[in-house]
C-alpha cells in the first residue's frame, strides 16, 4: 500500500522548525511495511494546500497530514481536505464535550471562541480522541483510500498515531509486519554498522536498519509474513545474531523502553535506592531519571554541585583533594559518588564531573573530558570518557554513559 | 521570486535521517526574501523524481535540489534534471581534474570507476566547485528560471550554498527581507492570537506570524523592501505595537536568545547569584540553566529534593509543616526557595514543587498543580499554576514558568 506524508505549516517553510514529524511518520510507515514514495511540506495557504493534497490523493492509497488543526485562522488543513474530498465540515458534539472537559481540568471556565473550531470535523469520518490536546485526529475514508489528519505538536501526534492510527493501518494491510528493536549503548554508529555490515548487505526479509541516537544505536529488525507467528519466526535468528555480536552492550529489546527505564526497573528489582551528584550535566541526569513516572520509590535525592564551594559544603568533599586533583578528575568523581550515596543514605549513586565547554579546558583536560563515578552496593567504579560535540551534546552523552555504567553494575 | 526545495534520497523516506537540509535551506531562502511555497522529498527513483522535478519546475522560479549526486547507481538527480530540462549530460574536464586532486590529497592513487560519474554535469550549466567533496554543484539556467543541484551531505552543502549559491541568488533578487522576533511568555497561543487578531488580519508588509513553543509564543515580523533601512522602517511600528500590547510579557526580541539566556544575563547584570530547589521537575530547571555556557558566575547550586526526607534533611524543611500543608503547597514552595538561597548563600533562588502525574493526584491537588517559589533579594514570591499535558510537558512548562517568574522579579 502506498502512503504519502504532507506536513502543513508555514513555520516549516520559513525554516523555524525542523520537520521531525515527517521523520517520525516515515519510520513508523516503514515499520508497518507501507511504501512511502513522497513527502511534502506546504504552507498555511488554502489554494496551494488543496493542490498538494489533491495530487497526493490521486497517486497514493493513504495520505497522512500533520499540522494546521489549531484554533487560529491560518489553520486550514481540515478545510482543504474537505474541499479535495468534496465533503462538508460538521461540528462534532463529542469533541465539543472534550474541549469543555479539557478546560475544566485546567480550572478555566472561559473558552475562547476560536477553540470551538477544533471540534469541527469532516463529515462521515472517524474521529480520534487526542489525549494530550484539543484537536482530534480525523480519518476520512473513501473507497479503499484513507486521508488521515493529525495534530502537529509531537507530544500530541506521537501518542495519537501510536494508539489510534497504527492499529488502523495494521488492519488495512493483509500482510503482517512485525518489528523488534535491539538497542545498544557504548559503540558509535559507524562502528556498529561495520559489525553488522554483512547482515545489512545480505538482508531481504527480515531487514535490519540502524538508527543513531545520542550515545545509543537502535537496530530495527522488521519481517513481513502472512501471520504474526511466521514473522516472529523470521525475526528470531537475526535478533539472536545481534545478541551474540553485541552481548552486554544491548540494554533493551523493547521499543518503548529507554535506558533510564531499564536502570530504574533494575533498581526496583534489586530493591536499591539512588542518589545523584552532578557537576557539568547540572541536573540533566536527574531530569532523565525523574522523567520516569513512579521513580520516587528508588530516586531519593540529587545534588547539583556546580561550584567547588557546593562540592565542599554540600557533599563534604575534601578541599585539599579538590585543589590537588581538580574538580574534573577520577578522584573527585569517586568521592562525589561515595559522598552522595552516604548523604542520601542510598545503596547506589552516580556522579558526573567534566568539561562541557566551550570554556574551561586546559592542555591536560580538554573539552569533552568527563569522569563518571558509580556506587553500586559495595562496588565503586569510575569511568573516564572523551566525548565530542558541543556543550549540549557532551552533556547528553555524559548522561547516557552514566546510566549505562549503573546498568552494567546492576547486571553484575 | 518563488523557490522550491526538493530533497532526493530514499533514506529520508525510510526515516533513517531527519531532513535538516530542507530546514537549513528554508531558513536561508527566508533570509534572502525568496518565497518558499513547497518542499518535497522523493526517493532514488527516476520516474518519480522526474515527475516531482517537472511539477516544481513548472510552478517555481528557482528549484533547489539536494542529494543524489553521489557515485552509486541509485544517485540519479542529474539524470532526472537533464530529462526535465531536455538537455544533455557531459563530462566536465575541470571537475575531472578536481577529482584527481581530491584523491591525491587523501593519498589515494586508485580512483574507482564510478567516481568519474561525479564529473558529469548538465550541458551549458554553471559548475560550482565543492570544497569539501567530489560532486560539484550545478546551476542550470533556462530563461529566467534556475535549477540548482547541490550535494546532500551537510558538510558539503552548507559551505557550497553559503559561498556560491547565496551570492548567486542575491544577484537574482532585487529586494531585501528583514525579520525580527518578539518572544513572549505567560500567555497561550490561542489567547495571544486573539490579542493580535486585527494585526494578523490586516497584515501585508510587514507580516506577523505567531509560533507556539512550550510555555512561550514567538512572533516573527517580516518586511520586504528595496533596502535594509526601508525594511527596518516598515518593521518598527509593528514591533512597537506588539511591545505595547504584550508589555512585560516580552522577554526578548533576539532570535537566538532563550528565556534562560535572558535570566542569566539579568543576574549577571545585577551581580546576583542563583540557587535552585526542585521537586517534580527533578533537575530540568537546573539543566536549562547549566545549558548556558559561562553560567558558573551566577549559578551556585541545585537541590533535587525529590523525597520528603531530602526536603527535611538537605533543605532543613520543617517536618510538621510538610505534614500539615503537603509537599505540593504554597507554604513548602516558599520555604524551599528561602532555604535553598540561605544554604547556597545566594541572593536569588527558585523552587518548584508540583504534581507532574500520572500518579500522585488527589481531589484537591490535581495533576498539573505546580507551585513556584522565588527569592529575589528581599522579596519572596510564590505563584500557583495549573498546567496541562503529560508528565514531560508539565515539567517543561513548570521550568518556563519558574524562569519567567525570576525574570519578572529581576525587572522590578
DSSP code per residue over A199-262: HHHH-SSSEEEEEEETTEEEEEEEEEESSHHHHHHHHHHHHHHHHHHHGGGEEE--TT--HHHH
Count Cβ atoms within 10 A of the Cβ of residue A7 and give its class: 0-12 exposed, 13-18 middle, 19 or more buried: buried
* CB A18, CB B18: distance < 8 Å: yes
d(CA B22, CA A14): 10
Q: Can you give the pLDDT at residue B7?
A: 97
* CB A4, CB B43: distance < 8 Å: no
Tell me which residue of A129, A132, A128 sits closest to A106, measured CA to CA: A132
How many C-beta atoms lie closer than 10 Å to residue A174's C-beta?
Answer: 7
Q: Is the dihedral of CA B187, B189, B190, B196 positive or negative?
A: positive
The CA distances from residue A216 to A4, A251, A369, B10, in Å, are: 29, 10, 19, 23
Residue A104 parent element (H or E)? helix A93-105
Q: Which DSSP letter does residue A281 get?
A: T
Give A305's strand partners: B301
Q: Can you give the pLDDT at residue A212?
A: 72
The pLDDT of residue B131 is above 90 = no
Tell me which residue of B338, B336, B322 sits closest to B281, measured CA to CA: B336
Tell me which residue of A235, A255, A232 sits closest to A243, measured CA to CA: A235
Q: Which CATH superfamily is domain B2-172 in?
A: MoaB/Mog-like domain (3.40.980.10)
* CB A4, CB A59: distance < 8 Å: yes
Own/partner long-range contacts of A309-314 (Cβ < 8 Å, ≥24 apart): A309/B300, A309/B301, A310/B300, A310/B301, A310/B344, A311/A279, A311/A336, A314/B301, A314/B303, A314/B314, A314/B343
User: Which pLDDT tens digit goes with each residue over A282-311?
Assistant: 999 999 999 999 899 999 999 999 999 999
* CB B380, CB B338: distance < 8 Å: yes
Taking residues A248-263, report their average pLDDT: 94
Q: Can you give the pLDDT at residue B34?
A: 87
Q: Would you tell me which residues 161-190 of chain A have a C-beta closer than 8 angstroms to some C-beta of chain B?
A: none
3-state class (DSSP) for residue A27: helix
Q: Which residues contact A117 (CB under 8 A, 6 or more apart)?
A: A71, A75
Mutation target vs B (from A6, A14, A208; most B CBs, 10 A cutoff): A14
Give A384's strand partners: A371
The pLDDT of residue A118 is above 80 = yes
User: What residues in B contact A135, CB-CB < 8 Å?
Assistant: none
Of all residues in chain A, the one with the smallest CA distance to B179 is A14
Q: Can you give the pLDDT at residue A86?
A: 96
pTM score of the predicted model: 0.78
* Partner residue facing B290 (CB), from A24, A114, A282: A282
Q: Can you give the pLDDT at residue B87?
A: 96
User: What residues in A contact B296, CB-CB < 8 Å?
Assistant: 306-307
Local confidence band at B334 (pLDDT 50, 70, 90 cut-offs):
very high
Taking residues A118-129, report their average pLDDT: 95
Q: Would you tell me which residues 93-112 of chain B have a C-beta closer than 8 angstroms to some C-beta of chain A?
A: none
The pLDDT of residue B120 is above 90 = yes
Q: What is the largest CA-CA distance in chain A?
A: 78
Local confidence band at B127 (pLDDT 50, 70, 90 cut-offs):
very high
Of all residues in chain A, the one with the smallest CA distance to B29 is A14
Q: Would you tell me which residues 52-81 of chain B have a C-beta closer than 8 angstroms to some C-beta of chain A?
A: 52, 55
3-state class (DSSP) for residue A70: coil
Q: Are strands A299-305 and A274-278 parallel, antiparallel or unpaired?
A: parallel
The pLDDT of residue A401 is above 80 = yes
Contact with chain B for residue A201, Cβ under 8 A = no
User: What residues in A contact B17, CB-CB < 8 Å?
Assistant: 23
Taking residues A55-70, report their average pLDDT: 95
d(CA A256, CA A162): 11
* Partner residue facing A304 (CB), from B286, B306, B391: B286
Taking residues A337-356, report their average pLDDT: 97
* Partner residue facing B287 (CB), from A284, A303, A344: A284
Q: Which residues contact B107 (CB under 8 A, 6 or more apart)?
A: none
Q: Would you tell me which residues 8-47 of chain B have a C-beta closer than 8 angstroms to some C-beta of chain A?
A: 12-20, 22-30, 36-43, 45
* Partner residue facing B301 (CB), from A48, A294, A305: A305
Q: Which of these ranges, A131-135, B1-5, B210-214, B298-302, has the smallest mean pLDDT?
A: B210-214
Local confidence band at B329 (pLDDT 50, 70, 90 cut-offs):
very high
Extents of the domains making up chain A = 2-172, 176-252, 259-411
B176-252 is classed CATH 3.30.70.2860: yes
The pLDDT of residue B348 is above 80 = yes
Calculate how close chain B gets to A392, using CA atoms only, in Å: 6
Q: Would you tell me which residues 299-328 of chain B have a C-beta closer than 8 angstroms to some C-beta of chain A?
A: 299-307, 309-310, 314
Taking residues B109-131, report their average pLDDT: 87
**Interface confidence (ipTM) of the complex:** 0.77
The pLDDT of residue B30 is above 90 = no
Domains B2-172 and B176-252 fall in the same CATH topology: no
Q: Can you give the pLDDT at residue A285?
A: 97
Question: How many percent of chain B have pLDDT more than 70?
Answer: 99
| C-alpha cell belonging to residue A230 | 511466521
Local confidence band at B389 (pLDDT 50, 70, 90 cut-offs):
confident
Q: Can you give the pLDDT at residue B115?
A: 81
Lookup result for grid cell 513548570: B398
Q: Can you give the pLDDT at residue A51?
A: 96
Q: Can you give the pLDDT at residue B55?
A: 96
CB contact under 8 A, B23 and A22: no
| C-alpha cell belonging to residue A9 | 505549516
Taking residues A247-255, report their average pLDDT: 94
* Partner residue facing A301 (CB), from B200, B305, B359: B305
Q: Can you give the pLDDT at residue B360?
A: 87
CB-defined contacts A:B, below 8 A = 262
Q: Can you give the pLDDT at residue B143?
A: 81
Q: Can you give the pLDDT at residue B171?
A: 86
Question: How many percent of chain A have pLDDT more than 70?
Answer: 100
DSSP strands (E only) in B226-298 = 250-252, 274-278
* Partner residue facing B20 (CB), from A18, A28, A70: A18
H helices then E strands: how many in chain A? Answer: 16, 17
The pLDDT of residue B24 is above 90 = yes
Mutation target vs B (from A49, A283, A361; most B CBs, 10 A cutoff): A283
* Higher pLDDT, residue B249 or B33: B249
The pLDDT of residue A338 is above 80 = yes
3-state class (DSSP) for residue A182: strand
Q: Which DSSP letter does residue A152 get?
A: S
Q: Can you give the pLDDT at residue B116?
A: 86
Tell me which residue of B350, B376, B399, B400 sits closest to B272, measured CA to CA: B376
User: What residues in B contact A303, CB-CB < 8 Å?
Assistant: 301-304
Q: Which of these ranges, A158-172, A227-241, B135-149, B164-178, has the smallest mean pLDDT?
A: B164-178
Calculate how close chain A gets to B35, using CA atoms only, in Å: 9
Of all residues in chain B, the one with the smallest CA distance to A159 is B390
Mean pLDDT score of chain A, rounded to an integer? Answer: 92
* Partner residue facing B282 (CB), from A280, A287, A395: A287
The pLDDT of residue B74 is above 80 = no
Q: Can you give the pLDDT at residue A139?
A: 97
User: Which pLDDT tens digit goes with each residue over B35-64?
Assistant: 899 999 998 889 999 999 999 999 999 999
The pLDDT of residue A106 is above 80 = no
* Partner residue facing B304 (CB), from A16, A42, A304: A304
Taking residues A153-159, report their average pLDDT: 92
Contact with chain B for residue A257, Cβ under 8 A = no
User: Which pLDDT tens digit goes with each residue over A199-210?
Assistant: 877 878 888 877
d(CA A23, CA B15): 5
Pick the CATH number of A259-411 from 3.40.50.300, 3.90.950.20, 3.40.50.620, 3.40.50.1100: 3.90.950.20
HSE-CB at A156 with a 13 A cutoff on CA atoms is 21
d(CA A181, CA A256): 9
Q: Would you tell me which residues 110-169 of chain A have a C-beta closer than 8 angstroms to some C-beta of chain B?
A: 112, 114-115, 132, 153, 155
Amino acid at each position: 500500500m502506498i502512503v504519502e506524508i504532507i506536513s502543513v505549516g508555514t513555520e516549516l517553510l520559513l525554516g523555524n522548525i525542523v520537520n521531525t514529524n515527517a521523520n517520525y511518520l516515515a519510520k513508523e510507515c516503514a515499520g508497518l511495511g507501507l511504501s512511502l514514495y513522497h513527502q511534502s511540506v506546504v504552507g498555511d495557504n488554502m489554494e496551494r494546500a488543496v493542490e498538494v493534497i489533491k495530487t497526493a490523493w490521486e497517486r497514493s492509497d493513504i495520505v497522512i497530514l500533520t499540522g494546521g488543526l489549531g484554533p487560529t485562522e491560518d489553520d486550514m488543513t481540515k478545510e482543504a481536505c474537505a474541499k479535495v474530498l468534496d465533503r462538508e465540515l460538521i461540528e462534532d458534539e463529542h469533541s465539543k464535550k472534550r474541549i469543555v472537559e479539557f478546560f475544566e481540568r485546567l480550572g478555566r471556565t472561559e473558552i475562547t471562541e476560536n477553540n470551538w473550531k477544533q471540534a469541527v470535523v469532516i463529515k462521515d469520518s472517524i474521529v480520534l480522541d487526542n489525549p494530550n490536546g484539543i484537536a482530534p485526529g480525523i480519518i476520512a475514508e473513501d473507497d479503499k483510500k484513507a486521508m488521515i489528519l493529525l495534530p502537529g505538536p509531537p507530544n500530541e501526534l506521537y501518542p495519537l498515531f501510536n494508539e489510534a492510527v497504527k492499529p488502523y493501518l495494521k488492519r488495512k494491510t493483509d500482510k503482517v509486519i512485525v518489528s523488534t528493536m535491539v538497542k545498544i549503548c557504548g559503540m558509535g554508529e559507524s562502528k556498529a554498522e561495520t559489525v553488522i555490515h554483512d547482515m545489512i548487505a545480505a538482508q531481504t526479509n527480515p531487514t535490519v536498519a540502524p538508527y543513531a541516537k545520542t550515545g545509543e544505536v537502535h537496530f530495527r529488525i522488521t519481517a513481513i509474513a502472512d501471520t504474526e507467528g511466521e514473522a516472529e519466526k523470521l525475526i528470531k535468528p537475526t535478533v539472536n545474531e545481534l545478541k551474540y555480536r553485541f552481548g552486554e552492550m544491548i540494554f533493551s529489546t523493547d521499543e518503548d523502553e529507554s535506558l533510564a527505564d531499564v536502570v530504574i526497573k533494575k533498581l526496583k528489582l534489586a530493591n536499591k535506592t539512588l542518589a545523584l551528584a552532578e557537576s557539568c550535566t547540572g541536573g540533566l541526569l536527574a531530569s532523565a531519571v525523574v522523567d520516569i513516572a513512579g521513580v520516587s520509590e528508588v530516586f531519593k535525592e540529587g545534588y547539583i554541585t556546580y561550584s567547588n564551594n557546593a562540592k565542599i559544603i554540600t557533599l563534604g568533599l575534601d578541599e585539599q583533594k579538590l585543589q590537588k586533583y581538580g574538580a574534573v578528575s577520577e578522584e573527585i568523581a569517586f568521592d562525589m559518588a561515595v559522598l552522595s550515596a552516604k548523604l542520601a543514605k542510598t545503596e547506589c549513586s552516580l556522579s558526573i564531573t567534566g568539561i562541557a565547554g566551550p570554556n574551561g579546558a586546559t592542555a591536560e583536560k580538554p573539552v569533552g573530558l568527563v569522569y563518571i563515578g558509580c556506587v553500586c552496593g559495595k562496588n565503586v567504579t569510575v569511568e573516564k570518557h572523551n566525548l565530542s560535540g558541543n556543550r549540549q551534546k557532551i552533556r547528553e552523552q555524559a548522561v547516557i554513559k552514566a546510566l549505562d555504567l549503573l546498568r552494567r553494575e546492576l547486571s553484575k
